[in-house]
Structure formats: C-alpha cells, structure tokens
Amino acid sequence: MKNLKSLMNSGYEGIIQAIELAKSMSIPSQDLPWTLDAVNKFVDEEGERLFPDGGWGQHYNILLEPTGWSIEKWRAELRRREEENDRMWAEKYSQTNEQKLRKYIKKILLEDAYSFVEDGAKLQRLGTLPVTKQDEILPKSEMWIGRKLKQLFAKHADHEFLKKLNTVHWTGDEYDLKYLMAVTNKDELSATISAPGHPFSKPRRVSYGLWIKGKITYAANNMDHIHSGHRGDYFPLYRSEEKYFSEEELEKAKQRKRSSGINKVPRKAPYNFDFALERSQYSPRFLERFPYILDAKTFNPTNRTTNEALVDNWKPIGLIITDEWVKENVGKLERPGKHLGLRWKRLFIAQEYWNIPLYDINGNLLLKAPPNGEWP
C-alpha cells in the first residue's frame, strides 16, 4: 500500500500505474489513497485525453468515477483548500496586505480571464446565460444570448492588444470573391487571427483570403467555441430564403441590416463559468484551456484547431493568395489562355474593386495593382 501511495503522489502517470497495480491486486481504484491534488491532476489529464475537443467540464461524473469522489465532495474540498490558504495568508500578513497581494497576483496571472469568468458565472447563476450541452447550437430565437456574450467579451477584452492582430476572412475561389464584394463593411465578418510577423492562419480548402482591419467583437482559439454560422443564418440572401425566418425575425433582420449591418453572434455558450470560477485558482492549466482570446495571455496561436474572430466596421488591407498556381504566376502577367484567363479576370476585378495589393500566406507582396487593360 505504501508503494501505491507513492505512485499516487507522483503525477498523472503514477496515478495510472497505481490504478493498474490495484486492479491486478483486485483492489478497486476508489479504495486508493486519493488526495485533492491527485484528484485534480487525474481529472485535468484524463479530461484532456478523453475529450480533446473540449467540453469535458460537462462530464465530471465520468471523470470522477475512478476516484470514488462525488462532485459535491470535490467542490467541498476545493473550498476547504481555499479557506486553508486564506488562513495561511492571514497568519503571515495583515488583512490589508493579504488583500493587496492576492489582488496583485490575480491581476498579473489571470487578470481579464478571471474577471471574464467571474462575470459570466454571475450571469449563469441569474439564468441570463445558459450552459449549453456539448455541440448544441442556439436557434435563431435565442441569438440574444450570443449578444450577451459579446457584451461580456467587450467589457473584459484588451482591445489595444486585439488591434495589433491580423484578421483574414477566407473564401473558396475567384467565383466567391464576386459575392464577397457585395458585403458592406458594416456587415460583420468571421476571420482567422494571426500575430503580426507570422504566417496568416487559414482553414482548409480555401484559395483566397480578404485581409481586413476592424474591431474584433468576439474571438476564440477554437472556432467551435463560437460557431457563428453563415450570413444566411442572419439575413436571407434571396427571397426564397425568407421562409426560414418568422415574420418577427425577418423584420428585425431587415432593421439591423438597414441600421448597423449584419452583426454575427456566437451561437454556442459551452463554457461552464460557475465551475471554472471554483477551479481557476488551483489549476495550473487554467489559462491554457481558457477558450476565448481576450489578451496576449489567452491567445494561443499554436492551437491545433482553427481560431475565429468576429470583425466589425472593417476595411480591406489586401488579398491573400494560397492557390499555388496563382501565387507562382500572378506576377508574370502572362496570358494563360481562356479558362485560366477568366480566373485572372475575376481576381483582378476584386483587386481593383477594393484597391488593395495581393500577398502570399506569409505576407509577402505578390502584385501591388492589377495590370491595365482587359483580362484576358
């Protein structure tokens, strides 16, 4: 049993070894000497392993089952740990110094993220914000929830930092550029985010990106934490699509289009703010797992998933070319024949419309302005 205890205190790999060893001895894993630190470490690592796409905060019953701890017991132990820490601080410092020190530490380490979670927890306790089930998309009738999330984001985001980031709205091919030209800069666009001086972040299967500068109204390291949908979810692109809107929804959509433009919203609220608030002080991976991009500490450009930002009141900066053939030949301005010439034509029309240069994925200039004359 002494060996088991030693393994339980040696991190996640040791805990797994202890569980396997106990199993070989016909000892239930629930009978192992679980401490709060061991439970925290096991739940963090096991949750990452079983639910790599996130949302494992909704499965604590599953993750806690091998420990024998209930959610209620776990939360009680976390609160008891916090109370013990408070008593230790009080013994070493006066109450005034303790408050200043704790406030300073929180400001440095968690700052915007912690206050974002704290305010979100208050809204969820009031019922203003829901905790959606994994992969649940809010219907049109509940898009007001997304607007509440954007207000929360606006309050806690470091807007000076967000201004420095590069944002690109991606589209499929030259044909799609024609439809993008019909979008006004009052209509909010979804875009990927990248840091200045780094290659532009892009999703798969796209050939062109419109590099834009505007106000970031919402952002996440994983686009699945936003799921803003398509333009047609907010406003009917054609009269035939009006049947998908109720009379009230259609009238509101038309009013917004006339006044402030089409404003997209996050249609997911997957973050359990209330539970995150309880654990944020103890989990060393809190900022790493924080899904939203509020500032430099919460921006994770190395994330394996595609990030997303909603950008309002934007202006075009350039067109990003990822199609290898176009990238290699656009600067030569040779007439490539009728079919490929039509590709040039659509590309140059878009470039001339926005009056912007063409760049590659690394931000290198390919063509400052389209050639004079007809194409092809």
Residue 370, preceding peptide bond in cis (omega within 30° of 0): no
Q: In angstroms, how far is the first alpha carbon of the chain from the final one?
A: 81
Residues 6+ apart with CB under 8 A from 102: 89
What backbone torsions phi and psi does residue 26 show, to the nearest 5 degrees? 60, 35
User: Residue written as tokens 């350039």?
Assistant: 318
pLDDT of residue 286: 72
Place of tokens 């569980």: 19
26: Cβ–Cβ under 8 A, 6 or more apart, which residues? none
Give one word for 315, left, alpha or beta, with left for phi > 0 and alpha for psi -120 to 50: beta
Helix, strand, coil percentages, rounded to 5, for the chain: 50, 10, 35
Among 302, 23, 272, smallest CA distance to 123 is for 272
DSSP 292: B
- 319, containing H or E segment: strand 308-321
> Which pLDDT score is estimated for 134?
60
* Closest C-alpha to 142, from 247, 271, 266: 266
Return the amino acid letter for 81: R
Residue at token pair 């470091």: 158
The residue ranges of the chain whose pLDDT is under 70 are 1-2, 52-58, 86, 89-111, 132-135, 231-233, 235-238, 242-244, 253-254, 256-260, 270-271, 277-284, 303, 332-341, 372-376
DSSP-derived pairing of the beta strands 358-359 and 308-321: parallel
Contacts of 298 (CB under 8 A, 6+ apart): 112, 113, 221, 287, 290, 292
Domain range annotation of the chain: 2-110, 158-227+283-367, 230-263
pLDDT for position 320: 95
Cβ count near 57 (within 10 Å): 21
**Phi and psi dihedrals of 321, rounded to 5?**
-105, 125
pLDDT given for residue 159 in this prediction: 92
Q: Render pLDDT for 194-214 as a digit per residue (tens, 0 to 9).
A: 999 999 988 888 889 999 999
Task: Count Cα neighbours of 343 within 13 Å in the Cβ-side half-sphere.
Answer: 18
Rg (Cα) of the chain, in Å, rounded?
26
Residue 153 carries which side chain, given as an amino acid letter? F
What does residue 320 show for φ and ψ, rounded to 5 degrees? -95, 130
C-alpha–C-alpha distance, residues 107 and 51, integer Å: 30
Other beta carbons within 10 angstroms of residue 192's beta carbon come to 21
- CA pair distance 17, 374, nearest whole angstrom: 71
Q: What token pair was written down for 376?
A: 């092809």
Let me know if 319 is exposed, middle or buried by CB neighbors in 10 A (0-12, 13-18, 19+).
buried
Distance, C-alpha 31 to centroid of its chain: 39
pLDDT of residue 339: 46
Q: Which two tokens stand for residue 260?
A: 């402030």
Whole-number pLDDT of residue 238:
64
β-pairing, 208-220 with 166-171?
Answer: antiparallel
